[in-house]
């Protein structure tokens, strides 16, 4: 496939119109070098809403979408257990691919996806990761600039209400990529790997399953050591009691208010929570999803409405620390604390399409490519293995940060 011309936007086809699509489609809309042209889903109502909103073609199968000659890039947003199959299918039709995290259900699947893309000469980008958010990117630039000296540690914490949110059976089945290690950990692992340079040597971790109504991984603690010896820790809890937004000016990743959490928890215990109805309200075409979301939200000082973020991350260097602030980053150094403003929406959708376009048009390497996502997945799989075996797991598929 030849690269797009300077005045030719990338034509995007979307495989799967679930909740994930409502998060990235507004960002794609806002990016001038991309155009949404087609989608595939099993739900006729979602396809009808998509066709009306985007004046686009619709299909009832992923293969039919991939066969569309007017689609340049396919965004795989189908359930986790289909990521490998659908990515390789799109590659078969010589489409470039953006795959929603997690990349796959295991390292072997991810390896097959990477090899298929490389063999067919197409680009594979794995997206919808919070490591792309402006605050994490700004932290990365501070760390790699060396202005605070060498990185000596990374620590990140997130407590949220993931287990309380509407969940379909496959979201809770580990064999199908369910639970927080598959579904939320990639964000945190990606962030830590980016700040640490990418190459994690080993993982020691513990995973918990403490909610009978949702019997899947719901919390974990992990200790990562990079190849150069730099340590990193990740602490995650998705049971919805304490929320890290209490420590971060009310900014965070939560769906419910405190009162709603109490009601949902009670309904789950009583078996009266209607997952199907609640989940459908979050999908494309429900009237409260993509149309209501916006990209490039105006900056509102002190509210962080302009930047999405995911818990608390602190990067410690020889001569100072850096973390998120209400309006950007706090830098702590020999002169005390000062704030660096960071602007721009979280940009899910926009950032992935920008990476893809700049790669195809300008030859800029993709940072979040297939090999990067494989390495992130390997850390998550090692976390599960370490918890089960109660021992350190040494990694073998890691890669450095890929940037110009």
Rounded distance between C-alpha atoms, residue 246 and residue 267, angstroms: 24
Band of residue 361 on the pLDDT scale cut at 50, 70, 90: very high
Q: Tell whether domain 131-345+382-394 is in CATH 3.30.420.40.
A: no
pLDDT at 297 (0 to 100): 35
Q: Can you give the residue ranges of every domain in the chain?
A: 10-130+348-368, 131-345+382-394
Residue pLDDT, tens place only, 23-34: 899 999 999 999
pLDDT at 348 (0 to 100): 85
Band of residue 287 on the pLDDT scale cut at 50, 70, 90: low
Q: 3-state DSSP call for residue 307?
A: coil
The 3-state DSSP composition of the chain as helix, strand, coil percent (nearest 5) reads 40, 20, 40
Residue pLDDT, tens place only, 106-141: 999 999 999 999 999 999 999 888 898 888 999 999
The average pLDDT across 206-214 equals 96
Instruction: Say if residue 201's pLDDT is above 90.
Output: yes
- The answer to whether 117 touches 344, Cβ cutoff 8 Å, is no
Instruction: Say if residue 204's pLDDT is above 90.
Output: yes
Rounded distance between C-alpha atoms, residue 39 and residue 75, angstroms: 9
C-alpha dihedral (363, 364, 369, 371), degrees to nearest 10? 80
When the pLDDT of each residue in the chain is averaged and rounded to a whole number, the result is 91
Instruction: Say if residue 97's pLDDT is above 90.
Output: yes
pLDDT at 305 (0 to 100): 45
Rounded distance between C-alpha atoms, residue 240 and residue 214, angstroms: 12
> Between 3.40.309.10, 3.40.50.720, 3.30.540.10, 3.40.50.300, what CATH number should domain 10-130+348-368 receive?
3.40.50.720
The average pLDDT across 391-399 equals 98
Percent of the chain having pLDDT more than 90? 78
Task: Measure Cα distances from 145 to 88, 141, 174, 329, 347 in Å.
Answer: 38, 6, 40, 15, 24
pLDDT at 403 (0 to 100): 66
pLDDT at 87 (0 to 100): 98
Instruction: Say if residue 263's pLDDT is above 90.
Output: yes
What element of type H or E holds 333?
A: strand 328-333
Q: Which two tokens stand for residue 351?
A: 């950032």
Task: Measure Cα distances from 153 to 172, 313, 318 in Å.
Answer: 32, 11, 9
Cβ-in-10-Å burial (0-12, 13-18, 19+) of 314 comes to middle
pLDDT at 291 (0 to 100): 35
């Amino acid at each position: 496939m030849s690269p797009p011309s300077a005045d030719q936007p990338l034509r995007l086809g979307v495989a799967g119109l679930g909740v994930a699509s409502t998060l990235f489609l507004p960002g794609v809309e806002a990016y001038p070098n991309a155009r949404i042209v087609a989608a595939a889903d099993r739900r006729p109502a979602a396809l009808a809403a998509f066709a009306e909103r985007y004046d686009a073609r619709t299909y009832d199968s992923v293969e039919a979408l991939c066969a569309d000659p007017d689609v340049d890039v396919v965004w795989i947003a189908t359930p986790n257990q289909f990521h490998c199959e659908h990515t390789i299918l799109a590659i078969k039709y010589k489409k470039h691919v953006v795959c929603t995290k997690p990349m796959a259900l295991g390292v072997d699947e991810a390896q097959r996806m990477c090899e298929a893309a490389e063999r067919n000469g197409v680009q594979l980008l794995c997206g919808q990761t919070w490591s792309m958010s402006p605050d994490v990117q700004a932290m990365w630039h501070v760390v790699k600039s060396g202005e605070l000296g060498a990185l000596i540690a990374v620590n990140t914490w997130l407590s949220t209400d993931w287990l309380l949110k509407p969940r379909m059976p496959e979201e809770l089945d580990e064999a199908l990529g369910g639970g927080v290690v598959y579904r939320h950990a990639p964000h945190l692992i990606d962030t830590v790997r980016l700040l640490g340079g990418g190459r994690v040597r080993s993982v020691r971790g513990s995973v918990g399953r403490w909610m009978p109504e949702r019997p899947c991984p719901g919390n974990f603690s992990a200790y990562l050591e990079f190849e150069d010896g730099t340590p990193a820790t990740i602490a995650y809890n998705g049971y919805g009691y304490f929320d890290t937004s209490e420590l971060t000016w009310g900014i965070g990743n939560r769906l419910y208010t405190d009162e709603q959490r109490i009601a949902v928890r009670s309904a789950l215990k009583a078996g009266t929570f209607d997952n199907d109805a609640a989940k459908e309200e979050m999908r494309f075409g429900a009237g409260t999803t993509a149309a209501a979301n916006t990209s490039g939200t105006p900056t509102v000082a002190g509210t962080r409405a302009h930047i999405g973020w995911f818990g608390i991350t602190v990067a410690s260097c020889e001569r100072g620390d850096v973390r998120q602030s209400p309006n950007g980053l706090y830098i702590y150094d020999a002169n005390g604390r000062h704030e660096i403003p960071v602007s721009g929406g979280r940009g899910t959708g926009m950032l992935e399409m920008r990476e893809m376009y700049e790669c195809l048009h300008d030859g800029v390497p993709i940072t979040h490519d297939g090999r990067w996502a494989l390495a992130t997945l390997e850390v998550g799989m090692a976390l599960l293995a370490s918890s089960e075996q109660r021992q350190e797991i040494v990694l073998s598929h890691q890669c450095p940060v890929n940037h110009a």
